[in-house]
């Protein structure tokens, strides 16, 4: 029998929009696998023998987007290693620019089908507040400070927002208002998941 393709939902939205939080709610209820590209990059950076550790840190501290070959191989490895019976993945915070999309299409589109793109809409002000609060509470993230947040936002506006239009043309965009309580964001998301057949 033909091998089952992995099913993917991309979760996009500004820095601090609530992508990770929402994915945790979805995973808890549905059991789908949550892969945060940012978390995977931070984890790779911490490995003592990583070839890419320094490079990753440099990009993250500048709010810049890591070359797609690195990010995609982390995603790929983690998808292959997953023993999830669903083969359904929440890919959080990726793709972030056209280079990411091109790299994904070249290396992953054979194995994966993108079911949709969940777009967490949140104002820049609220995104920033959330990240600063998290930083003050001791997140330990080297990018949860005002200086790097300005850069993260610039990168988001210039590189990631245009992708929303790109995916919109393919009929893949599902918008969710993430300026509500986490519970309400999740409630709204459940309807979207049912629309895509999840």
135 binds ligand UP5 (CB under 6 A): no
Cβ distance to Mg ion smaller for residue 113 or 161: 161
Q: Exactly one of 96, 116, 118, 189 binds ligand UP5 (CB under 6 A); which one?
A: 96
3-state secondary structure 46-62: HCCCCCCHHHHHHHHHC
- Compute the distance between CA of residue 178 and CA of residue 40 in angstroms, rounded to an integer: 23
Stretch that binds Mg ion, among 19-27, 49-57, 62-70, 116-124 (CB under 5 A): 19-27
| DSSP 3-state of 185 | helix
Q: Exactly one of 20, 107, 121, 164 binds Mg ion (CB under 5 A); which one?
A: 20
* Dihedrals phi, psi of 116, to nearest 5 degrees: 175, 175
Q: Exactly one of 35, 60, 112, 118 binds ligand UP5 (CB under 6 A); which one?
A: 60
Other residues' Cβ atoms within 10 Å of the Cβ of residue 194: 9
Fill in the DSSP letter of residue 160. I
Prior bond of 95 cis (ω within 30°): yes
Cβ distance to Mg ion smaller for residue 20 or 53: 20
176 binds ligand UP5 (CB under 6 A): no
Fill in the DSSP letter of residue 2. P
The residue ranges that bind Mg ion (CB under 5 A) are 20
The residue ranges that bind ligand UP5 (CB under 6 A) are 13, 15-21, 36-38, 41, 59-60, 63-66, 71, 93-94, 96, 130-131, 134, 143, 152, 178, 181-182, 185
């Amino acid at each position: 029998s033909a091998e089952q393709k992995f099913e993917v939902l991309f979760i996009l939205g500004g820095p601090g929009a609530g992508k990770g939080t929402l994915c945790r709610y979805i995973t808890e209820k549905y059991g789908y696998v949550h892969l945060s590209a940012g978390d995977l990059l931070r984890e790779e950076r911490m490995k003592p023998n990583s070839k890419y550790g320094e490079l990753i840190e440099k990009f993250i501290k500048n709010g810049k987007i890591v070359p797609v070959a690195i990010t995609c191989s982390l995603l790929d490895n983690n998808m292959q290693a997953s023993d999830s019976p669903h083969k359904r993945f929440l890919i959080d915070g990726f793709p972030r620019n056209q280079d990411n999309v091109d790299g994904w299409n070249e290396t992953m589109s054979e194995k994966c089908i993108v079911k949709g793109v969940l777009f967490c809409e949140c104002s820049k002000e609220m995104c920033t507040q959330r990240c600063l609060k998290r930083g003050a509470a001791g997140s330990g993230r080297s990018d949860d400070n005002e200086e790097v947040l300005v850069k993260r936002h610039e990168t988001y506006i210039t590189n990631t927002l245009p992708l929303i239009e790109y995916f919109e043309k393919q009929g893949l965009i599902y918008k969710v208002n993430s300026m509500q309580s986490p519970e309400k964001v999740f409630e709204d998301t459940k309807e979207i998941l049912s629309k895509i057949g999840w």
